[in-house]
Amino acid sequence: MFDPRDPAFLADPYPAFAALRAEGEVHRHDGLDIAITVSHTASSAVLRHRGLGRIWTDAQPLERFASFNLLHRNSLLENEPPAHTRLRRVIAGEFGRGHVQRLRPMVARVAEAMVEELAGKIAADGEADLLEHLAQPLPVAVIAELLGIPADDGPRLVAWSNAIVKMYEYGLPEPGRDAAEQAAADFVEYLRDVVRGTPRGIVADLMASELSPDEVVATAVLLLMAGHEATVNVIGNGVTALLTHRAQWERLLDDPTLLDTCVEELIRFDAPLQLFERTATEDVEIAGFRVPRGRKIGALLGAAARDPKVFDEPDVLDIGRTPNAHLGFGMGIHYCIGAPLARVEIAAALTALTTRLPGLRLASTPELRPEFVIRGLRTLPVTI
């Protein structure tokens, strides 16, 4: 069984997933203390089964993780109906496909300006970090604009988000847990200051809804975190994949009509979220594996994305792949509400890069983040 902290595994987890899949669709992972699904069918079943829910359990001790627990206890992501239905209904209209499509010109302008800055940095220094100049700031700038939060606060929000999501990893050392709580406390206080001021955008809409003050804060933080973490890692992982598989980058340059299928393939090929947990609210059976009530099972999304029963040549990057039934945005009632916006942001980043910097290439090997659940990069040095 794989070790989620092994650097060799983190560098390329997909052979380990394939080996597990050859043995069966569901396995007990003693190190993670959960069952994991490695096939597309079993992972889909986990995400859709109504006997499996997102059941939040407070981090312990309570007094040590007061802010972290507040954010998650009141989060759309960590609740089931009826609370989930009520929370999702409040923000659903803000992320509907039609509304998001109207944001395309704004997102494109932001992406173009950031790529121009990236190009200037490369011209001045010979190389630049694509994460720093595009992948990280783009989704934060967009969601900050929608929420009505100053764009200049973006770096703080990214730092807090990065610290908080480390709590989703397994075996996080105690200093990391303390850092996550401190980041959560800072994020809560920041949003409370926004609410006490003159809120704009989605924050103002949340304030006018039936949500409690804690639910307003938790929802705004969730939108900022989810709106950043997934998109930054698809852009980072995806651009790395394209520049490593140079023929696919050239293919996109030659045929921009492949943009939409390219976005879906980048989400599939190196999934930014590798594992999504559910808890059994009743005895459940997934692919012949019994999950007793109260026990957890995780859909291994990275493994599902490389299942040869669903994807022809799954280890091959094919930006024209269709159909592409990846699970990158989940399924069922917890399907990512920000998926339409994420797709627009990824497409805008790729369009700006291929238009302004067609000769883009890696300056050196990108540095991976040393985490399993959230898969992404620390740096992405590029040049031309």
DSSP assignment of 185-197: HHHHHHHHHHHHS
Residue 34 backbone phi and psi in degrees, to 5 = -145, 165
Measured CA distances, 123 to 118, 136, 217, 382 (Å): 9, 21, 42, 11
pLDDT at 11 over 90: yes
What confidence tens digit (pLDDT) does each residue in 131-178 have? 999 999 999 999 999 999 998 898 899 899 999 999 999 889 999 999
What confidence tens digit (pLDDT) does each residue in 222-248 have? 998 887 888 999 999 999 999 999 999
Measured CA distances, 91 to 68, 76, 87, 220, 321 (Å): 22, 10, 7, 10, 32
pLDDT at 100 over 90: no
Encoded tokens for 139: 């989704």
Between CA 273 and CA 271 the distance in angstroms is 5
Amino acid 336: pLDDT: 92
Between CA 218 and CA 195 the distance in angstroms is 12
Q: Which of 95, 47, 44 is nearest to 333 (CA)?
A: 47
- The domain 7-383 is placed in CATH, from the list 1.10.630.10, 3.30.230.10, 3.40.50.2300, 3.30.1240.10, at 1.10.630.10
Encoded tokens for 190: 């920041």
Model confidence at 6, in pLDDT bands (50, 70, 90)?
very high
Between CA 310 and CA 58 the distance in angstroms is 37
pTM recorded for the entire structure:
0.94
Measured CA distances, 107 to 113, 145, 202, 233, 295 (Å): 10, 10, 17, 17, 42
Between CA 372 and CA 9 the distance in angstroms is 9
Encoded tokens for 295: 């026990």
User: Do 299 and 271 touch, CB atoms closer than 8 A?
Assistant: no
What residue spans of 126-244 are helical by DSSP H?
130, 137-147, 154-165, 174-196, 201-207, 213-244
Domain layout of the chain by residue ranges: 7-383
